[in-house]
Structure 1
Amino acid sequence: MTVNEFPFDVITEQEYDRLRALYEPLTESMRRLIDAGIRTGVDDSAIGEARAAIDSATETLERVRRDTTSTLRHAGTGRPLAWANPAVGLRNAIAPPMRIEHEGENGRCWAEFTLGAAYEGPPGLVHGGVCALVLDHLLGEAASDGLTKPLFTGTITLRYLRGTPLGPVRAEAFIERTEGIKTYARGYLGDADGWTVEADGVFIRPAWARDAG
């Protein structure tokens, strides 16, 4: 397999901006709905009304339904734009609302965002698996130069230093070193009081990418 054999559709910056302006508010509305569904205390009648309204909206969206989701590549940056990605998918309401920034050397990147009730594990704390999802993706972003290089997670090791409270968090990652086909990345997740989780990952260039040079 070569890079060109991946099912990417190239998209212009203008078209990406148009689609983002269209779909991002929809995704935010669905995130709000998920949070409301978890926290609501309305009576039985209101629950019935809400369910009918949700079913009606769902039927509207299902009028045109694609069997698969396509992965887009930005024509200007070369970055893939996976709408359905569970970590950063613009059209996936279960994805944490994180917008990743890239800066500096060693692939350094970071994101500041809020994890609400939909990501709860122990009472008041973020589920450990959600912490792992965030850090796996962010380390991959760093190791692959913003997902522009073909690298896949080989191993990831996490140390949970303390519980991560629900609410505003910051995550960051950077490359420690590269040895042949392996890139070693390190990252952190935390709140205003400091880091709560630290992670080390090894990302491997797949065989088909090595053969392609």
Structure 2
Amino acid sequence: MNDSEGLAMPPETLRKPTTDELIARLGDLQGYLADTGLGAVLRTMVDDRLRAIEGLLRIGVGTSAADGADLTATSRSDFLPDHVVDGLDAESVRGRVTFADFYHGSLGVVHGGATALLFDHVLGLVSLGGGRDETRTAYLHVDYRAMAPLGEELTFSGGIDRVDGRKVFLAGELCRGDVVVAQAQALFVTLHPDVGATTRGSD
């Protein structure tokens, strides 16, 4: 059976969603699955449709360029929680984040690994500022000060403590109002030019 059987082709006039929009929709689906006790019949129906979508994506691998897709525009942040960067420069970053149900840990609050993922991303943005070359995370330490709620807008901020040669030392905070939920200390290392040339765009 064809992987796409049962899925009608959209009309040419239908607006084509961006990759980031599709990723956001996938995040919503993950949240529904994490928050819903599906019965056996509904689980089977969902599984059938997800398999059909998976088949379409497999067919699309390697054909995106022919469809006019910009492969360089694919987000590197597929698994990040929904967030907005309100300010970013060569020294600091600030913004807002809301963790969907998909990111739940025990006791119905945000999983600690999701908090670390956010810090790694936003501090990494700062590490690339000021004309610095490609960097990679060498060290990330997170102190969890309070439980972070799901579905509530939190604020984050971070910046550079110091730069020592190829080493970029950074710190960040995640807050719920005036309450510090988590703090991070990180070290990012600038790659040698020859290493950066072979790895850039591969992650």
| Interval of TM-score (by shorter of Structure 1 and Structure 2) | 0.7 to 0.9
Does the C-alpha gap of structure 1 residues 98 and 205 become closer, same or farther in structure 2, counting only changes over 3 Å?
same
Distance 1:146 1:121, change over 3 A: farther
Distance 1:66 1:205 in 2: 32
For the residues of structure 2 that align with 1:179 and 1:71, how far apart are their CA atoms?
35
- The TM-score normalised by the length of structure 1 is 0.69
Q: Answer yes or no: is the 8 Å Cα contact 1:160–1:197 preserved in 2.
A: yes
Sequence identity, in percent? 21
1:62 match: secondary structure = helix
Structure 1 pair 63–207 and aligned structure 2 pair: CA distance change class (3 A):
closer
What is aligned with 2:7? Answer: none
Q: Does 1:100 align with 2:85?
A: yes
- Compute the displacement of 1:42 (Å): 4.5
Q: Of the candidates 36, 39, 53, which is equivalent to residue 40 of structure 1?
A: 36
SS in 2 for 1:203: strand
Aligned length, in residue pairs: 175
SS of residue in 2 equivalent to 1:95: coil
Q: Distance in 1 between matches of 2:163 and 2:149?
A: 33
Moved over 6 A (4+): none
Take 1:71 and 1:204, find their aligned partners in 2: how far apart are those partners? Answer: 27
TM-aligned CA deviation for residue 209 of structure 1: 6.8
Residues 87, 94 of structure 2: 8 Å contact kept: yes
Of residues 93, 100, 110, the one that matches 1:109 is 93
- Rg larger for: 2
Contact 1:150 1:209 in 2 (8 A): no
Structure 1 residue 115: deviation in Å? 0.4
CA-to-partner distance for each residue in 1:171-193, whole Å, 9 max, x for gaps? 21111222222222110112235
- Which structure 1 residue ranges, 5 or more long, are not aligned? 1-17, 73-80
State how far apart, in whole Å, the 2-side matches of 1:124 and 1:41 are.
Answer: 15
Q: Give the distance between the partners of 2:39 and 2:188, measured in 1 at CA.
A: 50
Alignment partner, residue 188 of structure 2 = 203
Amino acid at match of 1:51: D
Looking at structure 2, the residues matched to 119 and 133 of structure 1 have their Cα atoms a distance apart, in angstroms, of: 11
Deviation at residue 60 of structure 1 after TM alignment: 2.2
Distance 1:209 1:170, change over 3 A: farther
> 1 CA distance for matches of 2:126 and 2:84?
14
CA distance in 2 between counterparts of 1:52 and 1:146 reads: 48
Tell me which residue corresponds to 2:159. 174
Listed as ranges, the gaps of 5+ residues in structure 2 are: 1-14, 64-69, 198-203
Residue 124 of structure 2 is aligned to residue 140 of structure 1: yes
Distance 1:180 1:27 in 2: 37
Matching residue within 37, 56, 61 for 1:60:
56
* C-alpha distance in 2 between matches for 1:40 and 1:195: 30
Which SS does the other structure have where 2:106 is aligned?
A: coil
TM-score (norm 2): 0.72
